C-alpha cells in the first residue's frame, strides 16, 4: 500500500473544494482546511469530514502533521504562501497561474530550492485526453501543417471581482489564458516565436467594478505564432453584461488536411474530426476527475523522489507568454518572443 500523504488545503472557495475532493479521491488525507472566511471553511470541513479548520494559513502550515500544502488562493497570495510553506519544509501544490511576475517566481523558486521540497502547479486541464489526442493528430500530420488553434471565451463580468483587478488575478489573459498557452505549447510541441495582441476594457464603466484601482483588460484578441509555423488564437471577453446569453465558439484546430473541434482541455468525452470531406466523432476516455489525476501524478513523483511533472517550468513558460501579450497590447507591437524571456 503506498503512502497516504497529509494535506492542508488553503483557501476553501471553488478550487479549494475541488482540491479537497481530488486529494480524497486520490486516497490522501486532508488534515485541515483554511480560509479567512471561517464560515466557508467550516462548511467544507463538515461536508468532507476534515478535522481541523483554520483562519490563518500560517497556523495550518506549521502543523507538524502537514506534509503537502495545497494552495487555492487568489494569485497575489501564491508567492507568500508558497514561500512560507517551503520555509516550513512542506511540499507545495499551487493553483495556476504561478505568480504575477518573475520577481515573485524567483523568490518562490529560491525558497523551494533551499528547502529541498517539491512544487507542483495546477494546470490540470492540460491532462485532458482531448489535448493528448490533438497533439497526436498534429504530430502525426493528420491535419497537415501548419495548424491553427482557435480558442474563444465569452462571459459576463466575473462575479469574483478580483478577476478584473490588474493587481489581483489579472483578467482573462492571465487567469484563463494560461490553460490555452500551455495547451498550444503541448499540441504544437513548439515554442512561441511572435506575439501580437490587442486589448480592450468593455466593462470600464460598470459600477460593480468601480472600486478597482486598475482594471485588467477584460477583452482581447491574441495571436501567437510558434516556431513550427503553427498559430494559437485566443479571443476573449469577460466584459459582457450580467446575464448575457451570447455564447463563445467551440474550440477549433485546423490545418490543410482537416480539423478537430470540441472541448479539448475540458476533459470532454468526444471531439469531432473533419478529415478532408469526411466527418466523424472521436470518443475519448475522459478522467473521472482531472484533479485526482494531477494529484496522483504529483504524489507518484514525491514517492519516487522525482521533481513534480508540472511545476515551475510550465508556470514560467506561461507567465513569459502572458507578459509578452500584455507588452504587445501596451506597445501595439508584434513582440519577438525570444527577446522577452527573463
Ligand X SMILES: NC(=O)c1ccc[n+]([C@@H]2O[C@H](COP(=O)([O-])OP(=O)(O)OC[C@H]3O[C@@H](n4cnc5c(N)ncnc54)[C@H](O)[C@@H]3O)[C@@H](O)[C@H]2O)c1
Summarize as ranges the residues that interact with ligand X (CB under 6 A). 10-16, 34-37, 40, 57, 72-75, 77, 95-96, 122, 124-125, 160, 169, 175
CB closest to ligand X, residue no: 13
The DSSP output letter for 165 is B
**Least separation in angstroms between CB 290 and ligand X:** 8
The smaller minimum CB distance to ligand X, of residues 79 and 112, is found at 79
**Least separation in angstroms between CB 250 and ligand X:** 19
Query: Would you give the distance in Å from CA 340 to the centre of its chain?
Result: 21
The smaller minimum CB distance to ligand X, of residues 217 and 337, is found at 217
**Least separation in angstroms between CB 85 and ligand X:** 13
Count Cβ atoms within 10 A of the Cβ of residue 173 and give its class: 0-12 exposed, 13-18 middle, 19 or more buried: buried
Angle separating helix axes 312-331 and 177-188, nearest 10 degrees? 110
The smaller minimum CB distance to ligand X, of residues 54 and 226, is found at 54
**Least separation in angstroms between CB 258 and ligand X:** 29
**Least separation in angstroms between CB 294 and ligand X:** 9
The smaller minimum CB distance to ligand X, of residues 223 and 294, is found at 294
The smaller minimum CB distance to ligand X, of residues 40 and 42, is found at 40
Determine the 3-state secondary structure of 93 from DSSP.
strand
Q: Which of 77, 49, 60, 64 is nearest to 9 (CA)?
A: 60
Which secondary-structure segment (H or E) carries 7? strand 6-10
Distance CA 176, CA 151 (A): 11
**Least separation in angstroms between CB 340 and ligand X:** 22
**Least separation in angstroms between CB 4 and ligand X:** 24
Written in H, E and C, the secondary structure of 180-240 is HHHHHHHHHCCCEEEEEEEEECCCCCCHHHCCCCCECCCEEEEEEEECCCCEEEEEEEEEE
**Least separation in angstroms between CB 68 and ligand X:** 16
The smaller minimum CB distance to ligand X, of residues 125 and 150, is found at 125
97-to-6, 75, 101, 177, 312 alpha-carbon distances in Å: 24, 7, 10, 9, 10
The DSSP output letter for 127 is G
Determine the 3-state secondary structure of 128 from DSSP.
coil
The smaller minimum CB distance to ligand X, of residues 16 and 199, is found at 16
The smaller minimum CB distance to ligand X, of residues 28 and 96, is found at 96
Written in H, E and C, the secondary structure of 249-268 is CCCEEEECCEEEECCCCCCC
Distance CA 336, CA 243 (A): 39
Amino acid at each position: 500500500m503506498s503512502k497516504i500523504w497529509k494535506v492542508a488545503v488553503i483557501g476553501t472557495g471553488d478550487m479549494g473544494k475541488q482540491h479537497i475532493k481530488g486529494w480524497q479521491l486520490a486516497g490522501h488525507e486532508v488534515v485541515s482546511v483554511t480560509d479567512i472566511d471561517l464560515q466557508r471553511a467550516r462548511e467544507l470541513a463538515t461536508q468532507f469530514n476534515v478535522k481541523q479548520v483554520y483562519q490563518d494559513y500560517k497556523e495550518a502550515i506549521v502543523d507538524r502533521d502537514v506534509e503537502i500544502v495545497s494552495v487555492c488562493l487568489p494569485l497575489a497570495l501564491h508567492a507568500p504562501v508558497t514561500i512560507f510553506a517551503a520555509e516550513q519544509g512542506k511540499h507545495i501544490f499551487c493553483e495556476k497561474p504561478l505568480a504575477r511576475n518573475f520577481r515573485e517566481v524567483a523568490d518562490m523558486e529560491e525558497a523551494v530550492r533551499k528547502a529541498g521540497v517539491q512544487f507542483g502547479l495546477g494546470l490540470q486541464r492540460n491532462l485532458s485526453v482531448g489535448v493528448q489526442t490533438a497533439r497526436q493528430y498534429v504530430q502525426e500530420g493528420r491535419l497537415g501543417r501548419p495548424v491553427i488553434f482557435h480558442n474563444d471565451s465569452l462571459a459576463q463580468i466575473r462575479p469574483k471581482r478580483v478577476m478584473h483587478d490588474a493587481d489581483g488575478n489579472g483578467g482573462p489573459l492571465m487567469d484563463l489564458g494560461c490553460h490555452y498557452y500551455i495547451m498550444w505549447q503541448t499540441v504544437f510541441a513548439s515554442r512561441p516565436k511572435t506575439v501580437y495582441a490587442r486589448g480592450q476594457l468593455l466593462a470600464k464603466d460598470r459600477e460593480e467594478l468601480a472600486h478597482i484601482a486598475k482594471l485588467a483588460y477584460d477583452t482581447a484578441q491574441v495571436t501567437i505564432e510558434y516556431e513550427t509555423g503553427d498559430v494559437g488564437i485566443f479571443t476573449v471577453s469577460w466584459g459582457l453584461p450580467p446575464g448575457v446569453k451570447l455564447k463563445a465558439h467551440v474550440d477549433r484546430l485546423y490545418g490543410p488536411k482537416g480539423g478537430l473541434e470540441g472541448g479539448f482541455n475540458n476533459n470532454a468525452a468526444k471531439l469531432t474530426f473533419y478529415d478532408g470531406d469526411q466527418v466523424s466523432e472521436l470518443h475519448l476516455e475522459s478522467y473521472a476527475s482531472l484533479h485526482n489525476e494531477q494529484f496522483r501524478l504529483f504524489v507518484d513523483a514525491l514517492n519516487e523522489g522525482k521533481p513534480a511533472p508540472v511545476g515551475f517550468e510550465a508556470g514560467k513558460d506561461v507567465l513569459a507568454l502572458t507578459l509578452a501579450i500584455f507588452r504587445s497590447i501596451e506597445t501595439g507591437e508584434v513582440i519577438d518572443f525570444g527577446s522577452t524571456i527573463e
